[in-house]
């Protein structure tokens, strides 16, 4: 093969992944390689087949992944028949912990049917374990680590021209002795304004639960919270310019004929660069669009600099919902986590957002190492103070991946556990059973408050406000 026109590339999203919106990563890859003349399409197998299983899925259970695959083997086999008949010769899978078992089984079936199909895997969970599982088992030809747009382009160029790939940064593969080899790490894309806008042409947004348009302002995070894996995936924070973002917004308005354009923002936090955000809002307001044309929802940080005037402006520009990672109502725990704000700062920002008609969703982490009973009482007290400004509260048991222990918790947490939720401190002051008791205490307290309902989503407790008139 020595012609890019002979390449027929398929990018696949396999079960189980969240399906509220289409993932934005593969559309970015598709746009980049299309611009360079390659034939590429995206298949969201996750969205299609998850209808067979419903929403109540433990996303991190390998047993459920295997059970689901075996139960639906006929469906997957027919899907692979379709791929073989379509003459696809390169397939890329996005790999997460929640779909790695299904991805592996799909790849093995594909290779059994046609061993010449070239398989590439990438995604946020492509760490050393993934390389071991997928490479050593001889499933995958190449594993991509980190940002994949330009790496995948290099891979396709080498594949199309029968060139070796040993000089491509950011990949792992098996050498001639079937031993995993990892090339040098890639340098993250400095100017993300240069990336093509994501290509959603193969995805019907109406097939997703919220029918919203994915959008990304930035990559990475300026903070280094000690429970968060973002810094493992993105080493630097980079933001797009207001002009570049506005250009994409206007493109989506032209592409999709809608009365309302609801944008779902995929950033770690949309308000990391307040100057850019304010400039973007000024430009959106200057468009003078009819009222309620554009809406934005996304993750946000508690930034004390966001005063009432600023929040009033961004609400006017269409920002209607923020998901804040508050995580604790105790200043002691916030400091342990590496959060650069106080509980008082969080209370004020939530109040001002609600006052300006911005809906607040908050997350709380229960049982962070170093959290005491007094700290948890402070968090319960904080929730009581802000509950009238908040529409939804997610409470998550603190999860600690073993790779975090030598970085942050070597003096506190034992490393003898298998499940990331069942860790315990060396002095036994914080165990899974203790965390369960703390959750029960919060449950009992929430029952005393009116206008709230509670339900479990996997391992997450969700408290939802029955009446959200405050944010209308």
Res 132: pLDDT: 57
Res 353: pLDDT: 97
CATH (residue range 4-182): 3.40.50.280
* Phi, psi angles (nearest 5°) of residue 375: -65, -40
Res 64: pLDDT: 83
Length of the chain: 472
Res 472: pLDDT: 52
Q: Mark the ranges of the chain whose per-residue pLDDT is less than 50.
A: 56
Res 127: pLDDT: 58
Q: Is 178 exposed, middle or buried (0-12, 13-18, 19+ CB in 10 A)?
A: exposed
Helix (H) or strand (E) holding 91: strand 90-94
CA distance 261 to 295: 6
Its pTM surpasses 0.85: yes
Rg (CA), the chain: 23
What is the tens place of the pLDDT at every residue in 206-249?
Answer: 888 889 999 999 999 999 998 888 877 888 999 999 999 999 99
3-state SS, residue 269: coil
Cβ neighbours of 455 (radius 10 Å): 9
Nearest to 142 by CA among 126, 129, 125: 126
CATH topology of domain 192-198+210-471: pyruvate-formate lyase- activating enzyme (3.80.30)
Residues in CB range of 418: below 8 A, 6 or more apart: none
3-state SS, residue 246: helix
CA distances to 256, 363, 441 from 19, rounded to whole Å, are 20, 20, 32
In the chain, count H helices and then E strands: 15, 17
- Locate the domains of the chain by residue range: 4-182, 192-198+210-471
324 DSSP β-pair partners: 300, 362
What is the tens place of the pLDDT at every residue in 4-14?
Answer: 889 999 999 99
The DSSP-derived string for 187-218 is: PPPS-GGGSPPP--TT--GGGSSS--EEE--E
**Helix intervals (H) in 329-431:** 331-337, 343-355, 373-386
Tokens of 94: 């996005």
């Amino acid at each position: 093969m020595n012609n890019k026109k002979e390449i027929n590339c398929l990018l696949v999203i396999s079960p189980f992944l969240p399906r509220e919106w289409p993932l934005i990563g593969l559309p970015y890859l598709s746009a980049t390689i299309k611009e360079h003349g390659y034939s590429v399409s995206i298949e969201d197998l996750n969205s299609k087949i998850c209808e067979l299983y419903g929403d109540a899925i433990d996303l991190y259970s390998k047993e459920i992944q295997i059970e689901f695959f075996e139960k639906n083997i006929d469906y997957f086999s027919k899907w692979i028949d379709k791929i073989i008949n379509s003459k696809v010769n390169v397939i890329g899978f996005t790999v997460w912990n929640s779909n790695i078992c299904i991805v592996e089984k799909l790849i093995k079936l594909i290779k059994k049917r046609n061993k010449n199909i070239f398989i590439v895997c990438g995604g946020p969970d492509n760490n050393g374990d993934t390389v071991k599982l997928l490479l050593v088992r001889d499933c995958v030809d190449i594993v991509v680590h980190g940002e994949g747009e330009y790496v995948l382009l290099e891979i396709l160029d080498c594949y199309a021209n029968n060139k070796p790939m040993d000089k491509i940064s950011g990949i792992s593969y098996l050498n001639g002795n079937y031993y995993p080899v990892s090339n040098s790490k890639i340098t993250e894309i400095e100017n993300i304004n240069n990336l093509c806008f994501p290509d959603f042409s193969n995805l019907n947004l109406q097939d997703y639960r919220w029918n919203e348009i994915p959008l990304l302002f930035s990559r990475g995070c300026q903070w280094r919270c000690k429970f968060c894996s973002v810094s493992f995936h993105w080493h630097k924070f980079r933001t797009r310019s207001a002009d570049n973002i506005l250009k994409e917004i206007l493109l989506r308005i032209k592409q999709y004929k809608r009365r309302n354009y609801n944008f779902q923002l995929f950033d770690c936090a949309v308000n990391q660069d307040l100057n850019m955000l304010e400039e973007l809002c000024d430009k959106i307001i200057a468009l003078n669009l009819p009222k309620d044309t554009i809406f934005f929802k996304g993750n946000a940080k508690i930034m004390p600099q966001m005063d009432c005037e600023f929040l009033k402006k961004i609400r006017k520009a269409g920002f209607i919902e923020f998901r804040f990672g508050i995580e604790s109502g105790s200043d002691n725990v916030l400091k342990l986590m590496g959060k650069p704000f106080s509980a008082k700062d969080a209370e004020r920002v939530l109040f001002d957002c609600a006052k300006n008609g911005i809906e607040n969703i908050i997350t709380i982490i229960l049982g962070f190492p170093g959290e005491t009973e007094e700290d948890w009482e402070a968090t319960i007290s904080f929730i009581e103070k802000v509950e009238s400004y908040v529409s939804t509260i997610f409470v998550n048991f603190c999860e600690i991946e073993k790779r975090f222990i030598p970085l942050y918790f070597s003096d506190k947490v034992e490393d003898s556990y298998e499940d990331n939720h069942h860790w315990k401190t060396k002095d036994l002051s914080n165990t899974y059973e203790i965390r369960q008791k703390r959750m029960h205490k919060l449950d009992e307290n929430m029952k005393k408050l009116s206008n709230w309902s509670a339900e479990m989503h996997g391992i997450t407790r969700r408290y939802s406000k029955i009446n959200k008139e405050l944010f209308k």
